[in-house]
Amino acid sequence: MVGVRFVELTPPRRIVEAIRFHSDDPALLGEMTLVATFEPVPGGTNVTLLCENLPPGLRPEDNEEGSRQSLEQLARCFEDGDWAAQRRESQSAGSAKGGRK
């Protein structure tokens, strides 16, 4: 479980979040910072994620893999051209399983 708060919102260029892990494992405690920057490029937007102050129990390679997967999932939403419809389908699937995503 994590708690997230916005530290900085600079539309449309930058979002800074503070992420605090809630865990019984002391190696996962602490607050890390996620900086997302958005740069217009021909045909789209280049999204860069920078994670700082990772808790010692979070391996950088695992964090990098999770970030890569998140960016790929985000890209698929927008590449398909109908993000709102995909969001509705995802929520419907979650509701059908007894919960929301």
In a domain, 75, yes or no: yes
Which residue range forms the structural domain that includes residue 7? 2-92
Type of residue found at 53: N
Work out how many domains the chain is built from and give that number.
1
Mean pLDDT of 90-101: 54
pLDDT at position 16 over 50: yes
In a domain, 41, yes or no: yes
Which tens digit of pLDDT belongs to each residue from 1-12?
889 999 999 999
Type of residue found at 89: E
In a domain, 6, yes or no: yes
Q: What is the pLDDT of residue 101?
A: 39
Q: Whole-model pTM?
A: 0.72
Angular region, 30: left φ>0, alpha ψ -120 to 50, beta rest: left
In a domain, 66, yes or no: yes
> Length of the chain, please?
101
- Cβ neighbours for 18, distance < 8 A, ≥ 6 positions apart: 4, 5, 7, 31, 32, 33
In a domain, 35, yes or no: yes
Query: Which domain CATH number covers 54?
Result: 3.30.530.20
